């Protein structure tokens, strides 16, 4: 390994390329090598620094020739397992031209692989969704739940999907699994307002009133004292027989929106 005594921009780029090659980040390494070669001016670089940069280029080229993506490209283009990139000091411009061709080819291949992986991912997502929904419709709730859980685990990082899966489950009164997903959505995507309402209503249906209260309070903390949220919280307190809280919360809702007749009814009931 060569230690840089003087580190011009070319040397820094080559050092970065060397590190990227050791991590098999071939396309990024090629970009760094090309940037380094573009900056390298042997005629105006002090001898020691020039030698160090040339040594780095040599090391990078040797490592590049061992990269699986590069080996595969050479075997395809040159029909040979022995084809390789060669470099000697003074051949920087020739090397730059060759690396530009290799970079373009590998970038195109990487884009194709990425597109193929995306298409495969979307196909798998659609297949899991369809299998899960078909199972629910056919009355096979265990299979439907299991399949939609896999969908959630594999694709739950996509905004909105956890809430959507929970809605499908709620259509079949599968509350426990639904609220698990809704709680995950609230934690991972706290701006998805729909998750709060569905989770709170599900907990109320399950008679988990303390958990429903917690969700409503989280929604108020996140989105502010929306009158309908306050009304729903007041109705929860009525179900819970917490009369004072029901009265205060309904009164807050009524003050913000005096068209909420249900809030007025709760106020009058506990006045």
* 253 in Cβ contact with 221 (< 8 Å): no
DSSP conformational letter for 64: H
Tell me how far apart the alpha carbons of residues 181 and 156 are, in angstroms, rounded to a whole number: 9
Query: Rounded distance, CA 98 to CA 79, Å?
Result: 17
The one-character DSSP state at 43 is G
End-to-end CA distance of the chain, in Å? 82
Angstrom distance (rounded) from CA 194 to CA 164: 10
Residue 32 pLDDT exceeds 70: yes
pLDDT at 20 over 60: yes
Of the ranges 8-12, 151-155, 183-187, which one carries the lowest mean pLDDT score?
8-12
In whole angstroms, what is the distance from residue 240 CA to residue 251 CA? 17
Work out the percent of the chain whose per-residue pLDDT is above 70.
94
Mean pLDDT, rounded, for 4-15: 72
* Count of alpha carbons within 13 angstroms of residue 213, beta-carbon side: 14
pTM: 0.61
The domain locations on the chain are: 9-114, 140-270
Instruction: Tell me yes or no: is domain 140-270 CATH 3.10.20.30.
Output: no
pLDDT tens track for 204-230? 999 999 999 999 999 999 999 999 999
Q: What whole-number distance in Å separates Cα of residue 32 and Cα of residue 63? A: 14
pLDDT tens column, 42-95: 888 888 889 999 999 999 999 999 998 888 888 877 666 778 899 999 999 999
Residue 128 in tokens:
């899991």
Give me the chain's average pLDDT, please.
90
Between 162 and 73, the more confident residue is 162
């Amino acid at each position: 390994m060569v230690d840089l005594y003087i580190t011009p921009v070319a040397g820094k780029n080559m050092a970065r390329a060397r590190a990227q090659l050791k991590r098999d980040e071939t396309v990024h390494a090629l970009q760094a090598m090309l940037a380094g070669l573009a900056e390298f001016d042997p005629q105006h670089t002090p001898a020691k620094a020039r030698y160090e940069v040339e040594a780095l280029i040599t090391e990078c080229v040797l490592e590049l020739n061992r990269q699986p993506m590069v080996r595969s490209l050479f075997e395809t283009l040159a029909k040979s397992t022995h084809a390789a990139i060669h470099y000697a000091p003074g051949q920087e411009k020739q090397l730059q031209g060759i690396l530009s061709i290799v970079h373009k080819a590998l970038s195109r291949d990487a884009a194709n692989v990425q597109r193929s992986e995306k298409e495969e991912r979307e196909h798998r997502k659609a297949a899991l969704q369809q299998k899960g929904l078909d199972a629910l419709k056919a009355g096979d709730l265990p299979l439907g739940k299991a399949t939609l859980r896999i969908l959630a685990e594999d694709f739950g990082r996509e905004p909105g999907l956890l809430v959507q899966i929970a809605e499908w489950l709620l259509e079949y009164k599968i509350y426990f699994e639904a609220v698990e997903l809704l709680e995950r959505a609230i934690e991972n995507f706290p701006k998805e307002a729909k998750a709060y309402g569905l989770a709170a209503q599900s907990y109320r249906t399950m008679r988990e009133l303390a958990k429903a209260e917690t969700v409503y309070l989280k929604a108020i903390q996140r989105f502010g004292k929306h009158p309908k949220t306050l009304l729903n919280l007041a109705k929860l307190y009525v179900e819970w027989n917490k009369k004072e809280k029901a009265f205060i919360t309904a009164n807050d809702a009524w003050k913000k929106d005096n068209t909420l007749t249900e809030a007025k009814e709760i106020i009058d009931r506990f006045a």
